[in-house]
A and B are shown apart, each in its own frame.
Chain A
C-alpha cells in the first residue's frame, strides 16, 4: 500500500541565499551558530516520515520547533528549500502552479489556528468558498455546504457572520470549509490552540468523531502533548526543526528517545497511555493458566479493573501465542508511580 503522504529529507531554510545551505557543512550547525554565520534559519531540517491512508499523524513540538512551517511545506504554502513531498505518490514540489491549485482544491485541505474566515461572508458562503473558486454552481455548492454545516453541528447558523460566532463555532466553520471540498488529506495547524480548554475538548472529540465518520488521512500539528496523545495514531516530536522521535503514544512514553522527550512525557498519566506490551513480564512455567486473556495493545488503565478483581494474572496473547504475563503488582506499579508523579 502506498503512503497517503510521504516526506523525504525535507528542508526549509529562511534567509539570504538559503538554497546554498542544504548539503554544505553549515547545514549541520546548531540554530544560533547557523544564524550567526550565514544569517539563515533552518526551520525544517532533514525531516522524513510517511503517513498511511486513514491515519491520524500528529506533529508535536514547542513554538519555534518548525512544525507549522513543516505543515505549510506540504502544499507549498511555504516553498520548501530541498527534499521531496509525495502525495499519493505524486511529487508536490515539481507541480505547476495550475496543478498545485488543483491539488489544493480537491485533494488536500487545511484548518488553521486563527481560522482565516472571510469576515464579509456568511457562514454558508465561507464554507462554500473552496467550491466556489473551483467553479461549482451556486445551488450545488450551497447544498454541499449545508451538508457540512449539519455535519459539524452548526445548523441554524448558516446566515451568521463569523464575528457573530464564538471561537469554537468559528473553528467549526473552518473545519466545515476544509471538509466541503471532500479532500483525501486534511492538515490541521494547531486548530484548537486559540480556544478555551472546555471548547478544545469538545472540538477534539469532534475531530475523533469526524475521523470515524469520514475516515480522512489527517496531519495534525499541536504543541499540546495531551492533545497529541489523545488524537494521534502516531506522533512525531520536533525540536529546532529536527525530528526527535516518531512512534505511537505508548512507544514514546515507554521509551523516550532522549532526555528532551523524557522530560516532556514525565507527567503524562502512564496508565492512560502505556499498553500491556510495555509492562508485561515473560511468561514462566509456573504461571496460572486460568487468568483473563488480553491483547498486547490493551491500555493499562482499561485492563486494570478486570486484572485486579481476578485472582489470576492476565495472560497477554498475540496471534494465539502467549507473549507475556501481567500480574496485580505490575499494574499497581504503573498506577502508583503515576500517583507519585501527580502528587
Chain B
C-alpha cells in the first residue's frame, strides 16, 4: 500500500525558471490574495451545490447504463466474458469457503475444521518463516476463534489469498517482461500509476457492474488493487541487479534464459518477496473494504458496526484485522529473510530441516483428519470473549467520550473553526470558475506548465461529473488533513532523524501502522470524535502520518553529514541547522511526503463517508446502498480519481522541480 514509486526528473528547468521569476511562495500568496478578494465579492454565486440526495441527468444516465448493461448480458461479449469469470471465481471461492470456512453441505461444518486449519497454517509458516512465526500464526488463528470471528477471518483470508494467487500468477511474468523490455515499461507504467493513485474504494462500484456483488466482485477488486505493487517492485528488483554482475556473467557466454533464471531472479529474490509482501498487505486492505460490495469476511462486521455506531463491536472485528495484518506482514517479511539464511546454512541443517518438516507435516495431516471426524475439532468452541470485549470497549469508549468530551470537542471545534470552515468557505463557496482558475494558478506555481495543464484537465473532468461542490468540500478535507499530516511529519521526522533512539522506538510503530488496512483507523477516530467530517480527517491523519513521517525522516537523514558538520562547525544553533540546512536540503523528501500524504488522505476521506465525512465519500457510500444513486456514486468515483490524479501529478512535478531525484 505504501510503495508508490516516484520517478525522478531533471532540476535543470527549475533552476532556469528560478532565475527569471519571483520566488514561488510570493506568487502563491499573490494568487491567494487575489482569490480572497474576488471571493469576497462573488461568494455564494455559481457554486454548483447539489443537495446530498440530489441527482442530475448525468447521474441518472449512468444508473440507466447499469440497467442496460445488465439487460445486455446475453448479447454483450464483455458481459459474457466477465460473467463466465465471475462464475469461475464464485465456484472456486465457494469451494475454498466450504473447505475451511462455511458448512459444506451435507456436512454441518466445513471440510476441514479449525484444528486442521491451524495445523496446516502452523506447518506452512514453519516451512517458510521459522518457528517463531509459527507461534504468532497459531496465536493469531486462536484469537480469531476466541473472539468469535473464525468464519469471517477465514473468509477474509480466502479472498486475500485467492486474489494474491491470481496477482502473482499474472504479475510475476509481467514484472519479468517489464524488467527486460523498455517498451513494456513505457506502456505499463502509466497503467500501474493509475492503479496505485486511485483509492481502493473506487474500484468497487464499477466492478459490481461486471462481477455482481459478493465474493467474485471482492476477489476481482482485490486482485486489481494488489497487482500493481508486485509488478512494480519485482520489476524494480530485477532491473536493479548489479550491471557489473550481469556483464561478468554475460562474458562467460550465458544464454538469456540462464541470465534470467540463474542470475537475475536469484539476485532479485529478496526484493521480489518484498513485492509479494506489499501485494499481500494491499490485498488484505482491499479484502476488508470489499465488504461494501458484500464481499465475505471481517469487513462486514466492521461495516455493520460502524453504520450502527457500535464502537465496541467494530473494535473486535477491527482488532482481528489488525492481528491478521501483523501476522501476514511478519510472516512474509520473515520468509524473505529466511530464504537467505536457509540457503546459507549449508547441507546438514537443510537435511535436518527437511526431516522436521516431514514429521510435522504428518502430524498436521493427523490433525486435519481429526478435524474432519470430530465435531470438537471441527467447530471452534463458542466463547463469549468477543462480546465481552466489545462490551468492555463500548463502556470504555463511552467513558472516554464523556470524560474527554471537553478536550476532543475542543480540538474538533478549534480545527473546524480555524481551518476547516474558512478553507471550505473559500473553496466551495467561490463561484466554480473562480475556484478552478485559482486552483490552476496554484498548480502553475507549484508544478509548472505541465502541472497546470494536468490540473486543468482534471478540473474540467470534475466539472463534468456534476459534483463540483462536493469535490471542493472533499478537497478541503484533504488539504486540511494533509496539512496536519505534514506538521506531524516534520516534527516527528526531524526528531527521528536527529535522535537515533527516537528512530529505534518510533520506526517499528510506524512500520506496523503502515501495514494496517485503512478501514481499522476509522474505529478509534469514531470512538473519539463521533460521526463528523472531522472524524474522517482524524482517521486520514493517522492513516497517512506513518508514511509521511518516514519519508521526512529519511529525507533529513539523507542530507550530507559533511554539510551538517560544516554548519555546526560554523557555530549554528541546532535550530539553525534544522531550519537552514536540514529542512531546505531535504525538501525533496518533504514534497514526496506531501505527495504520499495527499494520496493516503484522499483514500481515507472517501471511506470516511461512512463516519460522516460527507461530500464525495457520502455520494460513494450512497451509490452502494441505494440503486437509484448508483450513477451518482460512479460520478463521485470519477471525481475522486480526477482529484487524486491532479494532486499526485502537481506534487510530483513540484518534486521534480525541486530536484528531488527520488528513485
A interface with B by C-beta (< 8 Å): 72, 75, 77, 100-106, 109-110, 112-120, 129-130, 132-134, 159, 161, 174, 177, 181, 187
Contacts and interface: CB of A to CB of B under 8 A. Distances in A.
Nearest to A107: B253
B269 A77 contact: no
Contact of A116 (B244, B258, B344, B346): B244
A177 B247 CA distance: 14
Given A72-B247, A104-B253, 10 more contacts: A77-B250, A77-B251, A114-B244, A116-B247, A118-B249, A118-B263, A120-B269, A130-B253, A159-B346, A161-B344
Nearest to A134: B253
Which of B254, B340, B343 has the largest number of chain A CB atoms within 10 A?
B254
Which of B245, B269, B340 has the largest number of chain A CB atoms within 10 A?
B245
B252 A130 contact: yes
Which of A72, A100, A114 has the largest number of chain B CB atoms within 10 A?
A114
Contacts of A118: 245, 249, 262-263, 266-267
A116 B254 contact: no
Contact of A120 (B251, B255, B267): B267
A133 B253 contact: yes
B248 interface: yes
Contacts of A114: 242, 244
Nearest to B340: A120
Given A116-B242, A133-B262, A110 B248 contact: yes
Given A110-B248, A115-B248, A120-B269, A101 B242 contact: no
Contacts of B340: 120
30 contacts: A77-B247, A77-B251, A101-B253, A101-B254, A104-B250, A104-B251, A105-B253, A109-B251, A109-B252, A110-B248, A110-B251, A112-B244, A112-B247, A112-B251, A113-B244, A114-B244, A115-B248, A116-B242, A116-B246, A116-B249, A117-B248, A118-B262, A118-B266, A119-B245, A120-B340, A130-B252, A133-B253, A133-B254, A134-B253, A187-B251
A130 B249 CA distance: 8
A105 B244 contact: no
B257 to A, nearest CB: 10
A133 B255 contact: yes
Given A120-B266, A120-B267, A133-B258, A105 B252 contact: yes
Contacts of B249: 116, 118, 129
Interface residues of B, number: 23
A275 B269 CA distance: 56
Contacts of B248: 110, 112, 115-117, 174
Closest 8 CB pairs of A and B: A116-B248, A104-B253, A105-B253, A130-B252, A114-B244, A101-B253, A110-B251, A116-B244
A305 B250 CA distance: 51
Contacts, number: 72
A263 B575 CA distance: 52
Interface of B: 242, 244-255, 258, 262-263, 266-267, 269, 340, 343-344, 346
A117 B245 CA distance: 6
Contact of B252 (A100, A129, A161): A129
A113 B247 CA distance: 11
Nearest to A114: B244
A75 to B, nearest CB: 6
Contacts of A119: 245, 267
A187 B251 CA distance: 10
Contacts of A104: 250-253
A133 B245 contact: no
Contacts of B269: 120
A113 to B, nearest CB: 8
Nearest to A102: B253
B242 to A, nearest CB: 7
A321 to B, nearest CB: 48
B244 A75 contact: no
A120 B261 CA distance: 13
Contact of A75 (B251, B254, B258, B267): B251
A109 B266 CA distance: 23
Nearest to A120: B266
A104 B258 CA distance: 14
A112 B344 CA distance: 25
B47 to A, nearest CB: 53
Given A133-B258, A159-B346, A116 B245 contact: yes
Contacts of A109: 251-252
A115 B258 contact: no
A165 B258 CA distance: 26
A35 B269 CA distance: 40
Contacts of B258: 133
A243 B3 CA distance: 50
A120 B343 contact: yes
Nearest to A174: B248
A134 B262 CA distance: 13
A119 B248 CA distance: 13
Contacts of B242: 114, 116
A270 B121 CA distance: 75
A174 B258 CA distance: 19
Contacts of B267: 118-120
A139 B364 CA distance: 38
B256 to A, nearest CB: 9
Contacts of A110: 248, 251
Contacts of B262: 118, 129, 132-133
Contacts of A100: 253
B320 to A, nearest CB: 38
B255 A101 contact: yes
A174 B249 CA distance: 11
A116 B249 CA distance: 7
Nearest to B257: A133
Contacts of A75: 251
Nearest to A97: B255
Contacts of A116: 242, 244-249
A103 B263 CA distance: 20
Contacts of B344: 161
A103 B247 contact: no
Contacts of B246: 116
A103 B344 CA distance: 33
A101 B251 CA distance: 8
A119 B244 CA distance: 12
Contacts of B251: 75, 77, 104, 109-110, 112, 187
Which of B244, B252, B340, B344 has the largest number of chain A CB atoms within 10 A?
B252
A159 B263 CA distance: 19
Contacts of A113: 244
Which of B242, B248, B262 has the largest number of chain A CB atoms within 10 A?
B248
A115 B247 contact: no
